[in-house]
């Protein structure tokens, strides 16, 4: 049974040691351990921070016992990292970008602790000048041109990205920001910004 705040409801579909159960009833052997798997997506709303799980057992004489556990329900944050794709050094606010170089290149890696290594996250990029942001609709990622304005990254994998900053950063600007917006399968978003100073070269 599950209780997300409105009382316990019976869970009819789950697996027990790999066996599919669709009627909500497991006939268990005395002393045997069972690994239970259930899909909570349709059972526990995303805005619920905790829920209760209850197991009820009956023996042949209808003697009943039960145990209830309260579980925390959370979505791990996406950790967004900007880095130098040549040196792999993490980029922090205050890095320099040469005004004479129209193409700006950087590395981006997104990691999420509660996702498998092969799971993916949707990412969009923006350039900000004086708190006004423009979406980067065309950029190159790992040598492939992307014109969709977004791309899908694999969890924990770094990507080399470049774009024409001359299309976004005016000559008078002394700094600009790159904003990465990452969305997971649940629709939750995480944002990371990198502030870059423009270095005048002669």
From 55, 72, 89, the end of a domain falls on: 72
- Nearest CA among 190, 189, 169, 193 for reference residue 179: 193
Are the C-beta atoms of residues 129 and 180 closer than 8 Å to each other?
Answer: no
Domain that holds residue 54: 2-72
| pLDDT above 90 for 182 | yes
Query: How many domains is the chain built from?
Result: 2
Tens-digit pLDDT profile for residues 83-136:
999 999 999 999 899 888 899 999 999 998 877 666 889 999 999 999 999 999
Q: What is the CATH number of the domain that holds 172?
A: 2.60.40.3880
CA-based max dimension of the chain: 91
């Amino acid at each position: 049974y599950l209780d997300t705040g409105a009382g316990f409801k019976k869970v009819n579909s789950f697996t027990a040691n790999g066996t599919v159960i669709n009627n909500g009833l497991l006939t268990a052997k005395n002393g045997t351990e069972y690994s239970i798997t259930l899909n909570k997506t349709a059972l526990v709303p995303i805005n619920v921070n905790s829920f209760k799980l209850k197991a009820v057992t009956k023996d042949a004489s209808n003697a009943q016992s039960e145990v209830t556990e309260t579980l925390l329900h959370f979505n791990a944050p996406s950790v967004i990292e900007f880095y130098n794709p040549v040196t792999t050094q993490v980029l922090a606010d205050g890095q320099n970008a040469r005004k004479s170089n129209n193409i700006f290149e950087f590395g981006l890696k997104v990691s999420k602790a509660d996702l498998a290594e092969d799971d993916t996250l949707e990412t969009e990029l923006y350039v900000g000048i004086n708190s006004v942001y423009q979406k980067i609709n065309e950029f190159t990622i790992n040598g492939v041109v992307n014109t969709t304005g977004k791309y899908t990254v694999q969890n924990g994998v770094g990507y080399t990205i470049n774009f024409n900053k001359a299309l976004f950063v005016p000559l008078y600007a002394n700094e600009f920001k790159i904003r990465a917006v990452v969305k997971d399968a649940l629709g939750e978003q995480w944002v990371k910004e990198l502030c870059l100073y423009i270095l005048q070269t002669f």
